[in-house]
Amino acid sequence: MNILLVYAHPEPRSLNGALRDVAVRELEAQGHTVRVSDLYADRWKSEVDRADFPTLTPDARLLPVAASKTAFDTDTLTDDVKAEIEKLLWADALILQFPLWWFAMPAILKGWVDRVFAYGFAYGVGEHSDRRWGDRYGEGTLAGKRAMLIVTAGGWEEHYSPRGVNGPIDDLLFPINHGILYYPGYDVLPPFVAYSVDRLDEAGFEAMAERLRERMRTLATTPPIPYRQQNGGDYRIPSMQLRPGLGDPDAAGFALHLNGAGPAS
Ligand SMILES: Cc1cc2nc3c(=O)[nH]c(=O)nc-3n(C[C@H](O)[C@H](O)[C@H](O)COP(=O)(O)OP(=O)(O)OC[C@H]3O[C@@H](n4cnc5c(N)ncnc54)[C@H](O)[C@@H]3O)c2cc1C
Per-residue pLDDT at 248: 81
Evaluate whether residue 12 is within a structural domain.
Answer: yes
Give residue-wise pLDDT tens across range 189-235.
Answer: 999 999 999 989 999 999 999 999 999 999 999 999 999 999 999 99
Evaluate whether residue 244 is within a structural domain.
Answer: no
CA–CA distance, 11 with 14 (Å, rounded to integer): 5
Q: Which domain holds residue 35?
A: 2-227
Name the residue of 13, 15, 166 whose CB sits within 8 Å of the most ligand 1 atoms, as the mutation to test its pocket: 15
With a 6 Å cutoff on the Cβ, whether 12 touches ligand 1 is no
Q: What is the pLDDT along the chain (265 residues), one digit of tens a residue?
A: 999 999 999 999 999 999 999 999 999 999 999 999 999 999 999 999 999 999 999 999 999 999 999 999 999 999 999 999 999 999 999 999 999 999 999 999 999 999 999 999 999 999 988 889 999 999 999 999 999 999 999 999 999 999 999 999 999 999 999 999 999 999 999 999 999 999 899 999 999 999 999 999 999 999 999 999 999 999 999 999 999 999 887 777 899 999 874 444 4
Per-residue pLDDT at 261: 42
With a 6 Å cutoff on the Cβ, whether 157 touches ligand 1 is no
Evaluate whether residue 243 is within a structural domain.
Answer: no
Neighbours of 260 (CB within 10 A): 6
Evaluate whether residue 65 is within a structural domain.
Answer: yes
With a 6 Å cutoff on the Cβ, whether 209 touches ligand 1 is no
Residue whose CA is closest, atom 36 of ligand 1? 15
Distance 247 CA to ligand 1 centre (A): 37
Evaluate whether residue 234 is within a structural domain.
Answer: no
Name the residue of 16, 159, 197 whose CB sits within 8 Å of the most ligand 1 atoms, as the mutation to test its pocket: 197
Evaluate whether residue 8 is within a structural domain.
Answer: yes
Total of domains in the chain? 1
Per-residue pLDDT at 76: 98
Identify which of 96, 93, 88 has the alpha carbon closest to the alpha carbon of residue 217. 93
Evaluate whether residue 262 is within a structural domain.
Answer: no
With a 6 Å cutoff on the Cβ, whether 188 touches ligand 1 is no
Distance 154 CA to ligand 1 centre (A): 6
Looking up residue 191, the CATH number of its domain turns out to be 3.40.50.360
Give residue-wise pLDDT tens across range 42-69.
Answer: 999 999 999 999 999 999 999 999 999 9
Evaluate whether residue 242 is within a structural domain.
Answer: no
Residue whose CA is closest, atom 53 of ligand 1? 101
Per-residue pLDDT at 183: 98
Distance 21 CA to ligand 1 centre (A): 16
Per-residue pLDDT at 262: 41
